[in-house]
Structure 1
Amino acid sequence: CHEGPHDLVDARMWMINRDGTNERKVHEHQLGESCTHEFWIPDGSALAYVSYMKGQQQRYIRKYNPDTDEDSLVMEMPACSHLMSNHNGILYVGDGSGSPVDVKDTCSYKIENDPWIYILSSKNKKIHKLVKHNSSWRVQKGDRQVTHPHPSFSPDNKYVLYSCDAEGEPALYMAKIPEEILTQQ
């Protein structure tokens, strides 16, 4: 990844073969687009990431297939910062956030704070509010990541684990995913 203020990086994610050949962009950024918080679908089938546009509240889940070099839109979502998927990439979990701090033009990226943890189904494009994370997103003891929720699925996919500092110090929380959401896989 090419790091830096998201609004100044025009090609954040790159792929390259193990032998150093075939360097290529994962996504061709549009003017005003930021791409961030990339991760591999746990089964290794794709690289997923968050995309958002300058001046817009909504964000998008995109994924890149390393075998075909296909980059595709998965679905629109609320203003989530961090994402993770279940093993096969059918369900995603995201943490609602506020305005990004890792952009140079902060005035153009202002969004309302969103305190929810969401479950997002790529199969039927439904979005479910699971639980309020109520994280402060503040810098604590010199670390700006420790208060971020960073939600993730439990190994059995029945729970979401996330961090929150609503009680003072960051702590790990767990929320049960309703059965009706789990049957959407």
Structure 2
Amino acid sequence: MSRGTAYPSERRFFKDERTGVEGVQLTSIPGIHIKLYFHVNAFTPDSNTLVFQSFSEACRDSKVDIFKVNVDGRGLTQLTDAAEAGSPVVSPDGQWLYYMCHGELRRVSMTDYREDTIGYIDGILPSTGLSSNTAGTTINASMSGDGSVYFTDATLRNGRRAILRYTTDGQEAGIIYESDSITHTQCEPSDANVVAFQHGPDELYRNIWLVNSDGTNARPLNLPYGNGHWMWLGNTKKIMTNLEKQYNGIAIMGENDEEPEIIATGEHFWHAASSRDGQWIVSDTSWPDHGIQLIHVGTKKFKPLCYPESSNSHPQWSHPHPSFSPDGKYVVYNSDRTGTAQMYIVRIPDQLRKELQG
């Protein structure tokens, strides 16, 4: 099938046996379906529609296409049919899906499915299904709040890693920073003047780095022992990170803060995501798996939202990677509980919010 093809709903309704939370399994056919990474915007701003990655074949180097679906499981539609659809992200206004294809930045209309090429950078190594199964090759895209600038990271043909910057008016496209180890690239969401990225730890065990949006002044965030899973805490200009297992916690820190603030401890929080307003965090847990935890930043209280029952094994699609809808009412996550990777969404109960805020 091709871009713009609509499919029947695959939804299945469920109720979590331990928490009572109700949700929808959004995909069901026996293939690999992956929600976008937890710090990547997958939703339209009305929180009604989200996009996800889908392997087109049951093979290890399958082409990966992007689909959209409504939060009620209806409206399943294919958005891309390209040789590569890497680093996808939905524009802040919800009108476009942006993605990478062989160094080209492309965009597809979310409504009429027309496609444009925005810009091109030479020397970018193409990605496949294999690279979409790694956390730093084809999934780390972000945009400025006004949608004028797109950032991602990529592997160059020379083997180096790079941060790419494109303006969506097509006027600029270039590499702003290059190193031997770059992943998890994401611009600060309020003004996009700073880009954060993951780098190998230094002698002080700091592995989150910041660079200006023009590629100047690379410097580490003075927050050690992050486990590599982090994102900006809404528009607070602070970063929240899961800590290494021996610390079992989540910390937040701004560049000018003297010390990190510990938000939650007592679980091995694995991948955590922030709500748009920075007041809530959602995190999966592993080793042991105690479910997806909902955390209130102000009170530092947390409680299980649901249990994804995924294998939490090596493939990225077996990691829940939970994240919020823009309105903060839904949490979407991955699970391979059926034997194949599917995508699930639950609505956060009002009572649970009140309990954690109190």
TM-score (norm 2): 0.40
Structure 2: gaps spanning 5 or more residues? 1-197
| Cα-to-partner distance string for 1:108-141 (whole Å, 9 max, x where unaligned) | xxxxx214010011111111111111110224xx
**What is the DSSP-based 3-state SS (H/G/I as helix, E as strand, rest coil) of the residue aligned with 1:16?**
strand
C-alpha deviation, 1:60, in angstroms: 1.9
Work out the CA distance in 2 between the residues paired with 1:50 and 1:8.
19
Tell me the CA shift for residue 64 of structure 1. 2.5
- Give matches, 1:49-68, under 5 Å: 49-52=241-244, 56=246, 59-66=248-255, 68=256
- Give the secondary structure class of the aligned counterpart of 1:123: coil
> Residue 88 in 1 paired to residue 277 in 2?
yes
- Report whether the alignment pairs 1:42 with 2:217: no
SS in structure 1 at match of 2:351: helix
Residue of structure 1 in register with 2:328 after alignment: 157
Q: Distance in 2 between matches of 1:129 and 1:28?
A: 27
User: Which residue identity is paired with 2:271?
Assistant: H
**For 1:135-154, what aligned pairs fall within 5 Å after superposition?**
135-139=310-314, 144-154=315-325
**How many percent identity over aligned positions?**
30
In 1, Cα distance between equivalents of 2:334 and 2:231: 18
Matched-pair contact (CA < 8 Å) for 2:274–2:280: yes
- Give the match for residue 178 of structure 1: 349
**Amino acid of the residue matched to residue 199 of structure 2?**
H
CA contact (8 A) 1:48 1:63 kept: yes
Instruction: Classify the secondary structure of the residue corresponding to 2:352.
Output: helix
Matched residues in 1 for 2:317 and 2:204: separation?
Answer: 24
Q: Which residue of 2 aligns with 1:120?
A: 295
One-letter amino acid matched to 1:126: K
Match of 1:119, as an amino acid?
Answer: L
Contact 2:270 2:284 in 1 (8 A): yes
Q: What is the RMSD computed on CA atoms of the aligned residues? A: 2.6
> Are 1:136 and 1:165, in contact at CA under 8 Å, matched by a contact in 2?
yes
Shift in alpha-carbon separation, 1:71–1:171, aligned structure 2, 3 A:
farther
> Is the counterpart of residue 97 in structure 1 residue 268 in structure 2?
no
Q: Which amino acid in 2 is paired with 1:88?
A: D
The Cα shift of 1:83 comes to: 0.4
Q: Structure 1 residues 168, 8: CA separation in 2 closer, same or farther (over 3 Å shift)?
A: farther
* Amino acid paired to 2:270: S
C-alpha displacement of 1:9? 8.3
Greater shift, 115-124 or 174-183, is seen at 174-183
In structure 1, C-alpha distance between the alignment counterparts of 2:237 and 2:199, rounded to whole Å: 22
Q: State the distance in 1 between where 2:223 and 2:302 align.
A: 27
Residue 137 to residue 75, structure 1, CA distance change in 2 (3 Å): same
The structure that has the greater radius of gyration is 2
CA distance in 2, matches of 1:7, 1:79: 23
The equivalent residue for 1:72 is 260
Equivalent in the alignment of 1:23 = 218
1:13 equivalent in alignment to 2:208: yes
What residue ranges of structure 1 are gaps of 5+ in the alignment?
A: 99-112
Deviates more, 1:6-15 or 1:165-174: 6-15
